[in-house]
Amino acid sequence: MPLKILVIDDERPTLSMFRLMLDAYGFEVFTAENGEEGIALFQEHAMPIVLTDIKMPGMDGLEVLARIKELSPTTEVIIITGHGDMDLAIKALGLDATDFINKPIRKPALDAALRRARERIDLARSRDEDFAVRVRDGVAVIEIRGAVNSGSEARLRAALDEARAASAGLVLSFSENTSINGAGIALLTQLLLDCRKSGTPVAMTGLSENFRQVLAMVGMTTLAPLCDTEEDALASILTEPRSTP
């Protein structure tokens, strides 16, 4: 299903240009000639991406941005500005606009803004599922799909608490596409140390080869074995003698 996008601009030639370009990109395109009409369309169709001109008669782009964020905080709003409107663009970013692009619209700038909007949408969708907990063969498995960084701590600790309540052992099952930055390594190391202190056996599996090398280099594999498959990780947990904290 194509991604919906709404363009709000009081200039009809600009709307026609956007429709042609965005249709070619595969979007389902909606257009509005003023802010009030745009808000009505948004309430009906809930587009995940909105492009709005910043200077329009009646409801201007900043008002549109504020209203859309009130209705749907996760919607990505790209502001269309004219040259000399940098102060308004900065104000829009302060209201959580995704980006701004200047008129006349240039394809590289539009492409970059749309790419950032898509990345933010994908990130928002993944946050609800990036630390999913399930139980397999009596062992709790935390599926780690998203990026692990400083912003992951609360969600990862909540998943760890849920997993430890369900089982005496734990497998960290990383997606091959998982990325881990320096703060994420420090966070994971501390969690593994906490598990060791409490006597909770842990094994790890998954990750790309690059990240496997990183975890080995920083010593995380001395705290928990890094197994080739989830089955191997489960076997490691099930055969490990339980220790008393």
44-97 per-position pLDDT tens digit: 998 999 999 999 999 999 999 999 999 988 898 999 998 778 788 888 888 878
How does residue 151 score in pLDDT terms, banded at 50, 70 and 90?
Answer: confident
Question: What pLDDT is stored for residue 39 in this prediction?
Answer: 96
Convert the pLDDT of each residue in 36-52 to its tens digit: 999 999 999 989 999 99
pLDDT of residue 243 exceeding 70, the answer is no
- Strand intervals (E) in 88-245: 99-102, 131-136, 139-144, 170-174, 202-206, 226-227
Q: Helix, strand or coil for residue 134? A: strand
Convert the pLDDT of each residue in 96-129 to its tens digit: 788 888 888 999 989 988 988 887 777 666 555 5
Residue of 40, 37, 32 lying closest to 11 (CA atoms): 32
- Strand intervals (E) in 149-245: 170-174, 202-206, 226-227
Per DSSP, what are the bridge partners of residue 158?
none
pLDDT of residue 173 exceeding 50, the answer is yes
- Strand intervals (E) in the chain: 4-8, 28-32, 49-53, 76-81, 99-102, 131-136, 139-144, 170-174, 202-206, 226-227
CATH numbers and ranges of domains, the chain: 4-127 (3.40.50.2300), 131-239 (3.30.750.24)
Convert the pLDDT of each residue in 188-223 to its tens digit: 999 999 999 999 999 999 988 878 888 998 899 999
Q: What are phi and psi of 8, to 5 degrees?
A: -120, 120
Question: CA 177 → CA 42, 75, 130, 157, 225, distances in Å?
Answer: 33, 25, 11, 21, 20
For the residues of 70-94, what is the DSSP string, one character each? HH-TT-EEEEEE-TT-HHHHHHHHH
Question: What pLDDT is stored for residue 167 in this prediction?
Answer: 86
Q: Which residue is associated with the tokens 């220790």?
A: 243
Question: What pLDDT is stored for residue 131 in this prediction?
Answer: 85
pTM above 0.95, yes or no: no
The 8-class DSSP code of residue 228 comes to S
Question: What pLDDT is stored for residue 241 in this prediction?
Answer: 57
